[in-house]
Amino acid sequence: MRQINEHRLAALDELTHQHLTMPQAARPQPKGISKFENWRLVLDTDNIAWAILDKKGASANTLAEAVLREMDKMLDEAK
C-alpha cells in the first residue's frame, strides 16, 4: 500500500484555501474593465489584474478558439 507523504498532504491542504486561489478585489473596480463571455477580469487591491477563465456553458474550461480570441483581446486592452 502506498504511504501518504504528510508534507505533500499539508501543501495540498494549503492550496485549497480560497484566499490562495481568488484575489481580494479592489473596491470599486476601475471603469473601463471590459466584460468578457469566458473570462472574468478583476483588479486586486495590489493593482494586479487577474484573468479568471470561466468558459460559458461548459463544465470544464478548455482553450477553444473563442476563449483564445477573448484572451488576445484582453491582453491587447491591458497594454
The range of the structural domain enclosing residue 38 comes to 24-78
Residue 3 lies in a domain: no
Which pLDDT band, with edges at 50, 70 and 90, does 71 fall under? very high
Across the chain, the runs of DSSP E, i.e. the strands, are: 39-43, 49-53
Residue 7 lies in a domain: no
The three cell numbers of residue 47 are 493593482
Number of structural domains found in the chain:
1
Whether 55 and 61 have beta carbons less than 8 Å apart is answered as yes
Which pLDDT band, with edges at 50, 70 and 90, does 64 fall under? very high
Residue 41 lies in a domain: yes
Which pLDDT band, with edges at 50, 70 and 90, does 39 fall under? very high
The b/e string for 33-70 (b: 16+ C-beta within 10 A; e otherwise) is eeebebbebbbeeeeeeeeeeebeeeeeeeeeeebeeb
Residue 17 lies in a domain: no
40: which strand partners? 52
Residue 68 lies in a domain: yes
Q: What are the pLDDT digits (tens) for 22-33? A: 678 888 888 877
